[in-house]
Structure 1
Amino acid sequence: MIGIDIIQTARMDKMMQRFGEKGLKKFLSDEEIKLVKSYKTAAGFWATKEAFSKAIGTGIGTKCSFHDIQIYKTSKGAPKIALAKKIIKDFDILDVSLSITHDGEYAISVVALETISPTTNKIKQF
């Protein structure tokens, strides 16, 4: 399953100017906030969490919150996703791949999931 999201980084800049760290805490953990170097980084993290929630087919809400998804970086600086145990269990997730990119005033994230039980009806017939 694949999810994608795009955000205008200026939206994140305005949110951070208005609410500061309190605004970031609405969708990031303390560890994630330590990784945020600018509003563009924060925008990429927002897009990642939205992309993940789209990949599992729920969007952000009661079945998957922003805080069920955590972004961390490898020793080489590559972004990775960690998930709450309930998300892994509820959606049978085996693996997650992530790519974040920035272009001008946009941040884009793509998330691909590997699950234990793929959907049996892959293509709807008519």
Structure 2
Amino acid sequence: MKIGTDIIQISRIEKSLAQFGEKFKQRFLHPEEIKLAQKTASIAGFWAAKEAISKALGCGIGRELSFHDIILAKDSRGAPTFSLSKEAQKIHNIQVSSLSISHDGGFAIAVAVLSQ
């Protein structure tokens, strides 16, 4: 089992949205993720989630794994889930995973646990 966590100030996301608008969201979110994350706190949570997943995989966001290789969704109960692009899944071979996202007090945090 591997674990990754990330925390971000929601105000950082607010500033990026004010400066770059939709282009900022498109930089790291798929269109379906943009539909899910309508509030700034949710967008910050998605950023933290992708960072936490990359940390659990031990590679970070970069050449081996891009923001767009990580696809966030919600299950039938509204809990966050994720999958990897086909190419990234071939490299990382995730067998089991769990993701938690929360936001409060001006921060968003995410924890990812996975087994390869």
TM-score by length of 2: 0.95
Task: Tell me what 1:123 maps to.
Answer: none
Cα drift, residue 96 of structure 1: 1.4
- The residue that corresponds to 2:13 in the other structure is 12
For residues 82-97 of structure 1, the aligned pairs below 5 Å read 82-97=83-98
| Residue 3 (structure 2) aligns with | 2
Q: Is the 8 A contact 1:80 1:97 kept in 2?
A: yes
Larger RCO, structure (CA 8 Å, separation 6 or more)? 2
- Cα deviations across residues 14-41 of structure 1 (Å, max 9, x unaligned)? 1111111111000000110001121100
- Residue 75 of structure 1: CA displacement? 2.4
Moved over 4 A (4+): none
1:23 is the counterpart of 2:24: yes
Alpha carbons 1:4, 1:51 under 8 Å: kept: yes
Question: Unpaired runs of 5+ in structure 2?
Answer: none
- State the shift of 1:83 in Å: 0.9
Secondary structure in 2 matching 1:57: coil
Percent sequence identity over matched residues?
51
Letter in 2 for 1:37: Q
Q: Note the aligned Cα RMSD (angstroms).
A: 0.9
Give the secondary-structure state (helix, strand or coil) at the position aligned to 1:93: coil
Contact 1:7 1:47 in 2 (8 A): yes
CA–CA distance in structure 1, aligned partners of residues 31 and 108 of structure 2: 21
Paired letter, 2:112? V
Count of paired positions: 115
